[in-house]
Amino acid sequence: MASKTTPAFRIAIIGVGQVGTAAAYSIILASLATELLIVDLDRELRDTEQQYEQLLTRKRAKVNIVVITAGSKYNRGETAVQHTYKKISIVRSIVEEMKPFRSDTILLVVANPVDLLTFFAYELSGLPASQVLGSGTFLDSLRVRNLLAQKIKIAPASIDLYTVGLHGDSQIVAWSDATIGGMPMSKVFGANASECEDATNEGMKRLETMIRVKGSTPLGIGAAVSSICSSITSDQRNIRPICYMQPEWGCCFSMPAVLGRAGVVKKIDMALDSTEKMALEQSVKELKATIENVSQNQ
Ligand X SMILES: NC(=O)c1ccc[n+]([C@@H]2O[C@H](COP(=O)([O-])OP(=O)(O)OC[C@H]3O[C@@H](n4cnc5c(N)ncnc54)[C@H](O)[C@@H]3O)[C@@H](O)[C@H]2O)c1
Which residues belong to the annotated binding site for NAD(+)?
15-20, 40, 110-112
The residue (of 17 and 241) whose beta carbon lies closer to ligand X is 17
Stretch that binds ligand X, among 86-94, 121-129, 149-157, 158-166 (CB under 6 A): 86-94
The active-site residue, picked from 10, 143, 167, 261, is 167
114-125 vs 80-98: helix axis angle to the nearest 10?
Answer: 40
* Residue 42 near ligand X by CB under 6 A: yes
Taking the complex as a whole, the smallest distance from the CB of residue 281 to ligand X amounts, in Å, to: 23
Taking the complex as a whole, the smallest distance from the CB of residue 185 to ligand X amounts, in Å, to: 26
| Burial group, residue 2, by CB count within 10 angstroms (0-12, 13-18, 19+) | exposed
Among this protein's residues, is 83 annotated catalytic? no
Closest CA to 225 of 95, 107, 111, 67: 67
* Residue 39 near ligand X by CB under 6 A: yes
* Residue 111 near ligand X by CB under 6 A: yes
Rounded to the nearest 5 degrees, what angle is found at the Cα of 253, between the Cα atoms of 134 and 14?
Answer: 20
The residue (of 90 and 148) whose beta carbon lies closer to ligand X is 90
Closest CA to 113 of 140, 80, 65: 80
Give residues 17-36 in contact with ligand X (rule: CB under 6 A). 17-20
Taking the complex as a whole, the smallest distance from the CB of residue 7 to ligand X amounts, in Å, to: 28
| Sign of the alpha-carbon dihedral angle for 140, 146, 150, 151 | positive
Task: Count how many residues are written for the chain.
Answer: 298
| Burial group, residue 297, by CB count within 10 angstroms (0-12, 13-18, 19+) | exposed
* Residue 73 near ligand X by CB under 6 A: yes
| DSSP, residue by residue, 45-71 | TSS--TTHHHHHHHHHTT-SEEEE---
Give residues 178-237 in contact with ligand X (rule: CB under 6 A). 216, 218, 221
The residue (of 139 and 159) whose beta carbon lies closer to ligand X is 139
Which residues are known to be catalytic?
167
Question: Which chain residues interact with ligand X by CB under 6 A?
Answer: 14-20, 39-42, 45, 69-73, 90, 93-94, 110-112, 114, 135, 139, 167, 216, 218, 221
